Amino acid sequence: DADVTQTPRNRITKTGKRIMLECSQTKGHDRMYWYRQDPGLGLRLIYYSFDVKDINKGEISDGYSVSRQAQAKFSLSLESAIPNQTALYFCATSDFNNGLQFFGPGTRLTVL
């Protein structure tokens, strides 16, 4: 079984809709991250959480919100989706304070 899972894997939605992407991990890590990947831009950090009570904005948090429901679960929400949020979204986890992160398989989101 995968250590970091993401649901859904693919999603097509319309402008203005609310959508939630979910991430679960069985690695027992405290730290979780949400990234988006766009061609030619690499991965950019949206939000991160160092424990259940800790939520922090990344470099591109506008238009997104997150919820850390438990150590193992970290959800990303788009309250009102817009087309330029079409991207590949990755969840990641890390344990030790050294940057070593483990990634989920990604969610491909298309906003029409």
Cβ 110 to other proteins shortest distance, Å:
15
Is residue 77 classed exposed, middle or buried when 0-12, 13-18 and 19+ CB atoms within 10 A define those classes? middle
Cβ 106 to other proteins shortest distance, Å:
5
Cβ 25 to other proteins shortest distance, Å:
13
- DSSP secondary structure letter of residue 60: T
Binding site for other proteins (CB under 8 A): 4, 33, 40-45, 48, 50, 58, 90, 92, 94, 97-106
**Residue 50 near residue 101, CB atoms below 8 Å:** no
* Per-residue b or e along 13-22, where b marks 16 or more CB atoms closer than 10 Å to that residue's CB: beeeeebebb
Cβ 15 to other proteins shortest distance, Å:
26
**Residue 23 near residue 5, CB atoms below 8 Å:** yes
